[in-house]
Structure 1
Amino acid sequence: MGKRDDKRLKKVINLEFIIFSLVAIAVTMVLSTFIFYEVYKAEIIRDLKGYAEVFKNTGDFDADDTGVYASVDTNDLRLTLIAPDGSVLYDNQADETSMQNHLDRPEIAEAFENGDGQVIRKSETLNKSTYYYAILLKSGRVLRIARETNNVISMFLAAVPVMLVVMAILVCVTIIVTHYLTRNILKPIEQMANSLDDDTHIVAYKEMRPFIDMIQKQHADIVKSSQMRQEFTANVSHELKTPLTSISGYSELIETGMATEADVHHFATEIHKNSNRLLTLINDIIRLSELDVSEDAPLMEKIDLAVIARTATDMLAINAEKNSVTLSYDGSHGYIYANKMMMEELVYNLTDNAIRYNNKNGSVDVSVKAEDGKVILRVKDTGIGIPKEHQERIFERFYRVDKSRSKSTGGTGLGLAIVKHIVARNNAQLDMDSEPGKGTDIKVTFDAYREDEQ
C-alpha cells in the first residue's frame, strides 16, 4: 500500500465516520425532542389533574357564588364550570353568557360519563396546543381546567440553535476520535503490507487476527504459486532445449556433409528419438496446463475400471516386452463414478512409469479389486524403487529421482504430476509404498459407484 493510497483510504474512512456520526447525532436529537415532548405532555396532564383534584376537594365550585370562583388562585390556568345541561356557568378568561353549550366537547362528555376526561387541541396557525382536563364535581357539575403551551414543532424550532451548537461540538469530537480510530484500525494493515512474510512486528487486536492470518496465507500461496510457475517455466525451457539442441546438432552435421553415410542413419535415429521425446513432452505440458486451468467439473459417468486397466495393459504389452518386463493384469469388475478419459490417462501413466523404471526381467502387476464399497486400482512393480526422502516430492513436476535414467527411458517427469491432478479431480485417494531395490506399490482408491450418484 503506497503512501498516497494510504492517505486516500484514511480520508475515505474519516469522511464515512463523520457522515455516519452526523446522521446519528441528528436522528438522536430529533427523536430526543419528540420523546421529551411526550414526557412534557404527560407532565402537563398530571399537573392539571392535580389542580382539578384540589379544586374538587375544596368544594368551592360546588357553590353558586361566582365571587368564590373568582377568588380561587388559578395560577395562569383557565377554569370553566359547566352545568349538567352543558351550559357554561363560569369562565375566568371569557364571558360565559356568550359561550356555546359545551356538552358536545369530548372532555366534557367523558367527564359526565366516566368522572373525568382529557384532550389536547392544536392550533395550526399559532403553533400552540391547549391541554384540557375535566373532572365531575360532587354537585354534578364539571370543572374544566386548561393550559396553553407550545406544540412539538415550536419546541423543536426553539431548540434548533442549541442543537446546532451541540452538533458542532460533537462533530469536532467525532473528527478527533475518528482520526484516532482510523489510524489504529489501519496500523496493523500498514504493518502487514510492509512485512507480509513476517508477522512478528504486526500489533493487531484479536478481531483482526483471522483477517491477517488469511491474508498472509493467501500471500504465501501466491508466492509459492509464483515460485512454482517460475520453476516450471525454467524446467520446461531446459527440457525443451535438450532434445531441440540434439535435433539441431545432428541435422546440421547432415546438412553440412560432415556426417558419413554410416553416421547419417545413426543421426536420423537420434533425431527421430528426440522428436518423439519432444512431442511427448509438449503433449504432457499441454495436458497438465489443461488440468491446471480448467475449473469446470469433468464429465462423470459410470465406468468399469477393470475394462480400462485391461485395455491399458494390452496397449503397453509391446513396450513392456521391449524393456524385458513381464506385464500382467488380474482383477474383477469395479464400477466407479469418474471421468473416463482421465481414468485411461491415470492407469496408462502409472503402468508406463512402472515399466520405464523397472529392472531387466522385472515385473509389473496391475489389478482392480472391489471391496467394502471401494474400488482399488493397484500397480505394483519390482523396479528400482524410490528412496524415502524422495517419496513426498515424486509427484512434483519434472522431479526425478534418477535424472540420467529418466532421460534414457524417455520419461518427461510429468507423468506422476498428471496422475496427482487426476486423482484430486476424481475424489480418489493415492497411497504409495516403495523401497529402493525392491520396487514400488501404488494404490488408488475410489468410492464404488452408487445408483444415486447420477
Structure 2
Amino acid sequence: MRVQVFGILLCVGLIPIIFLFSVITNTYDTQMVSQRTDELQSYGTVVSNLVVSTGYLAGHSSAEVDNETEEIANIYQGRIIIVDKDLRILKDTYGLEENKTLISTEVVKCFGGSSEKKYVNDLGGYMQLTMPIVDPQFDEVCGVIVISYSVKNLEHISREVSHRVLFLLLGIALIIIILSFACSLVLTTPLKKVTDSINDISKGDMDIKLDMHGYSELVKISESFNQMTDVIRKQENSRQEFVSNVSHELKTPLASMKVLSDSLLTQEGMPEEIYREFLGDITTEIERMTKIINDLLSMVKMDKNSAVMQVANININGLLEQLLKRLRPIAAKRNIELVFESYRPVMADVDEVKISIALNNIIENAIKYNYDDGWVRVTLNADHKFFFVTVQDSGVGIPEDLQDNVFERFYRVDKARSRETGGTGLGLAITRNAILLHRGSIKLYSKEKEGTTFTIRIPLNYIP
C-alpha cells in the first residue's frame, strides 16, 4: 500500500510541474516572438513614412531609406523588401530580387484593402512580417514592406530560459519526491499498524489495543478499533460463558438423574413409594432439561442473523387475550389478579409465533416472580406508528445494579428462586431478540420489593 500511496502523491505533485514547465516555455516563446514583431512593426512604420515622404515608390532614390532598411536588416539578421503598386520589388536588402515581381498572399491582401495592419508567418527559423505602406494624403495603400527576420537567437534565449526553468522544476520535483515518500510513510505506518492488529485478532489475540496520536482521524480510528476489539472480546467472553452455562445447565439434571438411578440400582428391596418418588424426581429433571433445550432452540430461531420472519397482519388484542387465557390458571394458583386493559383495537404486521413467545415470557415472569395475592396488569395502546404493550406487576422487583444484566443469556437475579420456579435464564434473552427482530424496543423499570414494569414498543408496519 505504501508504494501505491507514494505513486499517487508523486503523480499529484509531478503532473502539475510538467504542465507548468510546458506553459512557462510556450508562453515565454510566444511573448518573445510577439515582442520582436512589435519592435519590427515600429521600425516598419518608420521606413513606411520615409518611403512616402521621399517619393521612393515613384522612383526617387533615397539614401536615407536605403541606410535605414540596411541597418534594420543587419540588427535583426533579416531581410527587408519594398514592393510598389505593380508588385515590383524596389528594394531588397539582399540585392537578389530587385525589379522582379513579388506575388504572395499577404502582399495581395495588403493591396486588396484588408483592415489588417500586419501579417506574420512562421517560415521555420524565420518570421515574416508584411505591412502596407499607406499614403496619408490619399489614404490609400501605395506599397508593401516585407520584413523577414531570424528567430535563431530567440530560440537560443528560449533554450537557456527553458534549461533554467527545468533545473528549478527538477529541484522542486526532487523535493516533491522526498515529501511524497515521507507522507507515504506517515500515512501508511498507522494503517499498517491497524492491519497488523487486525491480523493478530484474527489469530485469536483479543488483548490488542491501538494507541495512535497526531491527526484527529487517526485518533478516531484508534478509538473505533479499540471499541471494536472490546465488543469482540465481550462477544467471545459471552460465547464462552454461554457454552459453559449450557454445559452446566445440562450437566446438573443429568447428574441428578444419575444419582437417583444409581440409588435405585444399588439398593435392593426398596419400598415402592421410594421407587415412585425417585422416578418422579427423574421425570422432573427430564422435564427441566427438555425446557432448557426448547429454550435454546427458541433462542437460535430468534437470532437476528438466521431468523426467518413469517410476518402477517395480526389482531394484537386477540393475541394478548389468548395468552392471558392460558396463563390465568397459573396466576389463580397463587391468587394473583391478572388484568388486561386495551385502549383501542390494534392490527400490526408481526410474526405471530415470535411475538407470542416474547409477550408470554414477560407476562409469565410477572406471575412467577410475584407475591401471593399480588396483581399483574397488561396494557395495550397504539399511535399512528407503533403499538405499546406494558406489563406491570406487584412482585419482588429487580435490584437497580442488576437491571442491565437481565436480558443476558442464562442470567438469573435470584438463582434459588429461579430453580424453584423452573426458570432457565433464557426467557428475557429470547424476548429481547424477538422484539429486535420486529425493529422494536423494550425498556425496564423496577424497584426492589415494589414491582417491575416492562414497556414494549413495536412498529405497526414491519420494515424488513
Q: Which TM-score tier does this pair reach, normalised by the shorter chain?
A: 0.7 to 0.9
Query: What amino acid is the match of 2:132?
Result: L
Q: Which residue of 2 aligns with 1:233?
A: 243
1:383 paired to 2:395: yes
Q: Which residue of 2 aligns with 1:203?
A: 213
1:222 paired to 2:232: yes
Query: Is the CA contact 1:317–1:327 (under 8 Å) kept in the aligned structure 2?
Result: yes
Q: How does 1:115-194 map to 2 (within 5 A)?
A: 115-121=116-122, 128=124, 130-139=126-135, 140=141, 141-149=143-151, 172-186=174-188, 188=190
Query: What amino acid is the match of 1:302?
Result: N
- Shifted more, 318-327 versus 244-253: the winner is 318-327
Instruction: Describe the shift of the 1:110–1:362 C-alpha distance in structure 2 as closer, same or farther (beyond 3 A).
Output: farther
Of 224, 249, 252, which residue of structure 1 is paired with 2:259?
249
Q: How does 1:186-335 map to 2 (within 5 A)?
A: 186=188, 188=190, 197=209, 199=211, 202-254=212-264, 260=270, 261-294=272-305, 298-322=309-333, 325-331=336-342, 332-335=344-347
Instruction: Describe the shift of the 1:119–1:374 C-alpha distance in structure 2 as closer, same or farther (beyond 3 A).
Output: same
Higher-Rg member (1/2) = 2
Q: Offset at 1:379?
A: 1.9
Query: Is the CA contact 1:81–1:88 (under 8 Å) kept in the aligned structure 2?
Result: yes
Q: Which residue of 2 aligns with 1:71?
A: 70
Structure 2: distance between partners of 1:419 and 1:277:
20
Q: Offset at 1:353?
A: 1.4
Instruction: Describe the shift of the 1:274–1:46 C-alpha distance in structure 2 as closer, same or farther (beyond 3 A).
Output: same
Query: Is the CA contact 2:435–2:441 (under 8 Å) kept in the aligned structure 1?
Result: yes
Structure 2 residue matching 1:316: 3-state secondary structure = helix
Instruction: Describe the shift of the 1:15–1:302 C-alpha distance in structure 2 as closer, same or farther (beyond 3 A).
Output: closer
- Shifted more, 204-213 versus 316-325: the winner is 316-325
- CA deviation vs aligned residue, 1:204-262 (integer Å, no higher than 9, x gap): 22343333332222222222222222222222222222122223333444455669343
Q: How does 1:45-60 map to 2 (within 5 A)?
A: 45-58=34-47, 59-60=49-50
Instruction: Describe the shift of the 1:171–1:371 C-alpha distance in structure 2 as closer, same or farther (beyond 3 A).
Output: closer
Of 31, 37, 45, which residue of structure 2 is paired with 1:42?
31
Structure 2 residue matching 1:96: 3-state secondary structure = coil
Query: What amino acid is the match of 2:375?
Result: S
Query: What amino acid is the match of 2:315?
Result: D
Query: Is the CA contact 1:18–1:174 (under 8 Å) kept in the aligned structure 2?
Result: no
Query: Is the CA contact 1:358–1:384 (under 8 Å) kept in the aligned structure 2?
Result: yes
Structure 1: distance between partners of 2:62 and 2:301:
107
1:392 paired to 2:404: yes
Query: What amino acid is the match of 2:77?
Result: D
Gaps of 5+ in 2: 136-140, 198-206
Query: Is the CA contact 2:396–2:450 (under 8 Å) kept in the aligned structure 1?
Result: yes
Structure 1: distance between partners of 2:162 and 2:442:
75
Instruction: Describe the shift of the 1:105–1:353 C-alpha distance in structure 2 as closer, same or farther (beyond 3 A).
Output: same
Instruction: Describe the shift of the 1:27–1:111 C-alpha distance in structure 2 as closer, same or farther (beyond 3 A).
Output: farther
Q: Which residue of 2 aligns with 1:9?
A: none
Structure 1: distance between partners of 2:4 and 2:108:
53
Query: Is the CA contact 2:44–2:131 (under 8 Å) kept in the aligned structure 1?
Result: no
Gaps of 5+ in 1: 1-11, 123-127
- CA deviation vs aligned residue, 1:367-408 (integer Å, no higher than 9, x gap): 323467653212222322212222222222211110011122
- Shifted more, 389-398 versus 87-96: the winner is 87-96
Structure 1: distance between partners of 2:393 and 2:169:
83
Query: Is the CA contact 1:327–1:364 (under 8 Å) kept in the aligned structure 2?
Result: yes
Structure 2: distance between partners of 1:278 and 1:26:
73
Instruction: Describe the shift of the 1:153–1:271 C-alpha distance in structure 2 as closer, same or farther (beyond 3 A).
Output: farther
Instruction: Describe the shift of the 1:370–1:207 C-alpha distance in structure 2 as closer, same or farther (beyond 3 A).
Output: closer
Query: What amino acid is the match of 1:48?
Result: T
- Shifted more, 219-228 versus 100-109: the winner is 100-109
Q: Offset at 1:171?
A: 6.0
Instruction: Describe the shift of the 1:160–1:39 C-alpha distance in structure 2 as closer, same or farther (beyond 3 A).
Output: closer
Structure 2: distance between partners of 1:384 and 1:336:
33
Instruction: Describe the shift of the 1:130–1:22 C-alpha distance in structure 2 as closer, same or farther (beyond 3 A).
Output: farther
Q: Which residue of 1 aligns with 2:97?
A: 96
Q: How does 1:353-368 map to 2 (within 5 A)?
A: 353-368=365-380
1:436 paired to 2:448: yes
Q: Which residue of 2 aligns with 1:80?
A: 81
Structure 1: distance between partners of 2:173 and 2:30:
31
1:114 paired to 2:115: yes
Instruction: Describe the shift of the 1:281–1:78 C-alpha distance in structure 2 as closer, same or farther (beyond 3 A).
Output: farther
Instruction: Describe the shift of the 1:81–1:386 C-alpha distance in structure 2 as closer, same or farther (beyond 3 A).
Output: same
Structure 2: distance between partners of 1:259 and 1:378:
56
Q: Which residue of 2 aligns with 1:7?
A: none
Instruction: Describe the shift of the 1:435–1:425 C-alpha distance in structure 2 as closer, same or farther (beyond 3 A).
Output: same
Structure 2 residue matching 1:145: 3-state secondary structure = strand
Instruction: Describe the shift of the 1:297–1:81 C-alpha distance in structure 2 as closer, same or farther (beyond 3 A).
Output: farther
Structure 1: distance between partners of 2:442 and 2:111:
89
